[in-house]
Chain A
Amino acid sequence: MAKIILDRVSVDFPIYNTTGRSLKIQLMQAATGGRMNAGARGSVVVQALRGVSMEVKEGDRVALVGPNGAGKSTLLRVINGVYEPTGGRIAVKGKVTSLVEISLGMDSEATGIENIYLRGALLGFNRRWLSSKISDIVDFAGLGEFIRMPLRTYSTGMQMRLAFSISTLQQPEILVMDEWLTVGDADFKETAQQRLNEIVQKSSILVIATHSPELVAKVCNRTIHLDRGTLICI
């Protein structure tokens, strides 16, 4: 049973200026008892999340809503394990797959095939399994012989199609998205939407950050409202 539990999770970002980034200056300050440049430790803390508690259960389709800078993306990253909370606790049961940046790790100089292996490896796919899926990916993305060409020769649409086809290859357990994915021209859009819908339906948990009320109404069964890092209502 997939599950996400957040218990008073806080995330504080240290923001360093060049002073805080410099070992030399930090050492000098330590040596002079910190009196030099008093007050200019060079570190400001931004609180991205403040005491967020929630429980997400199997079958939940959670919409994270809130204005820009509310902490939606940060919360997504806490859930997929990029940020360990600076305060509070998080427990995630189940494998989290992020469809936030689906072309991350792809290399424009490498061929389509090489990119399948690269992107696939980043998603944690086994190499042998991937090679058995290559023709599926190529067919789905409609790339044909282009798959042997470097990615830089692709149009933006083709690149997105390839990235989408690889990233949605495996059924995720817990799915994390930042806005609904839309890719490609009218033709591909439909097949892509179909696949995405299927994946979303089959996933145990969906957490999606969004600004679109229609999407919330269509896909989600829970709304979590964030504002300036705090949970307003569930």
Chain B
Amino acid sequence: MMNRMNKLLKTGSRDIFAALKGYELAGLLGWQDIRQRYRRSSLGPFWLTISMGVLIGALGLVFGTLFASSMREFLPFLTSGLILWTLITTSLNDGCMGFTAAEAMIKQISLPLFTHILRVLWRNLIIFAHNIVILPLVLLIFWIPLQATAFLSILGLVLLMINLSWMALLLSVFCTRFRDVPQIIGNLLQVFFYVTPIIWMPQMLPKRASIFLLDANPFFHLIEIVRAPLLGGLPSLLSWQVSFLLALAGWIFTILFYGRFRSRIAYWL
């Protein structure tokens, strides 16, 4: 039993480390995806920034009025939350297609397969970098100074990405075998969008509901470790703990799972 576990760990981590070592290839392919999408437009990926800005403006107007919350508080919250949520949801949705989209490559060249997942993550991180420029603009409009805690959000972002990488890898293996899983994941993420405080603020909840919607929701903690320091607060210890343990447990499980099924991926395509 232990022996078999060791073997799986070894097979899985070998591929993952090889992919990390060849990060240059994943980076190049990720950039290429962005370039390909926006090749013939002069604004390029900033189109995304614009549409994100419009979305934030519209949602901010509707929900800010609806909840009768102060725009000065609500809009920065919505902006950072929505941009982070977009990073999460596109990483996972694209992650589902990580291997199926790279079918031609996987069937012809022997590369570490995790490279295709890194490519997806990198692509979405680039898009995130384009979107996040909206936040300083919003802060500027309301004349809210960026606090020193903002540096902590970098640590939070790293931890978030570590979590997203195991999720994307795990989903990708699963979606290659079962082709109806991407739709299921898409639906689930849609539900999480509403139950996670992104377009509504945690303090709007009655006390009892918050245990289910906040403490038991991993996505709340993952967003919180980046969002709270960006907005000048500190994430709760619980959020750090959950995010850290989730990364640890998630990666161990994923490496075992990946070690078991890695060699089957080319066959499933």
Contact B181 A23 (CB under 8 A): yes
Contact A22 B108 (CB under 8 A): no
**How many whole Å from B52's CB to the nearest CB in chain A?**
24
- Asked if A224 lies at the interface with its beta carbon under 8 angstroms from chain B, I say no
Contacts of A110 in B (CB 8 A): 32, 35-36, 39
Complex Cα distance A179/B138, Å? 60
Interface size class of A (residues with CB under 8 A): 20 to 34
Complex Cα distance A81/B14, Å? 15
- Asked if A56 lies at the interface with its beta carbon under 8 angstroms from chain B, I say no
- Asked if B184 lies at the interface with its beta carbon under 8 angstroms from chain A, I say yes
Contact B106 A82 (CB under 8 A): yes
Nearest B-chain residue to A127, judged by Cβ: B24
- Asked if A101 lies at the interface with its beta carbon under 8 angstroms from chain B, I say yes
Q: Mark B174-205, 1 if CB is under 8 A from A, else 0.
A: 00011111001000000000000000000000
Q: Mark A3-16, 1 if CB is under 8 A from B, else 0.
A: 00000000001101
Contact A82 B109 (CB under 8 A): yes
- Asked if A84 lies at the interface with its beta carbon under 8 angstroms from chain B, I say yes
Contacts of A157 in B (CB 8 A): none
- Asked if B72 lies at the interface with its beta carbon under 8 angstroms from chain A, I say no
Complex Cα distance A122/B32, Å? 13
Contact segment of B140-148, B211-219, B261-269: B261-269
Contacts of B177 in A (CB 8 A): 21
Complex Cα distance A80/B28, Å? 23
Contact B109 A98 (CB under 8 A): yes
Contact A80 B109 (CB under 8 A): yes
Q: Which of A82, A107, A121 contacts B107 (CB 8 A)?
A: A82
Contacts of B179 in A (CB 8 A): 21-22
- Asked if A193 lies at the interface with its beta carbon under 8 angstroms from chain B, I say no
Q: Which of A16, A100, A109 contacts B108 (CB 8 A)?
A: A100
Contacts of A121 in B (CB 8 A): 24-25, 28-29
Contacts of A117 in B (CB 8 A): 28
Contacts of A107 in B (CB 8 A): 32, 36
Q: Which of A14, A86, A100 contacts B268 (CB 8 A)?
A: A14
Q: Which of A21, A77, A104 contacts B105 (CB 8 A)?
A: A104
Contact A23 B36 (CB under 8 A): no
Q: A23-B178, A121-B28 are in contact. Are A82 and B110 (CB under 8 A)?
A: yes
Q: A14-B268, A82-B266 are in contact. Are A109 and B28 (CB under 8 A)?
A: no
- Asked if A68 lies at the interface with its beta carbon under 8 angstroms from chain B, I say no
- Asked if B209 lies at the interface with its beta carbon under 8 angstroms from chain A, I say no
- Asked if B68 lies at the interface with its beta carbon under 8 angstroms from chain A, I say no
28 A/B residue pairs, CB under 8 Å, sorted by A = A13-B267, A16-B268, A23-B180, A26-B178, A77-B107, A77-B108, A77-B266, A80-B110, A81-B110, A82-B106, A82-B108, A82-B266, A84-B263, A84-B266, A86-B267, A96-B110, A101-B108, A104-B109, A105-B105, A109-B36, A109-B39, A110-B35, A110-B36, A110-B39, A114-B32, A118-B32, A121-B24, A122-B105
4 more contacts with CB within 8 A, not counting A22-B179, A82-B106, A101-B108, are A16-B268, A104-B105, A107-B32, A107-B36
Residues of A within 8 A of B (CB): 13-14, 16, 21-24, 26, 77, 80-84, 86, 96, 98, 100-101, 104-105, 107, 109-110, 114, 117-118, 121-122, 127
Residues of B within 8 A of A (CB): 24-25, 28-29, 32, 35-36, 39-40, 104-111, 177-181, 184, 263, 266-268
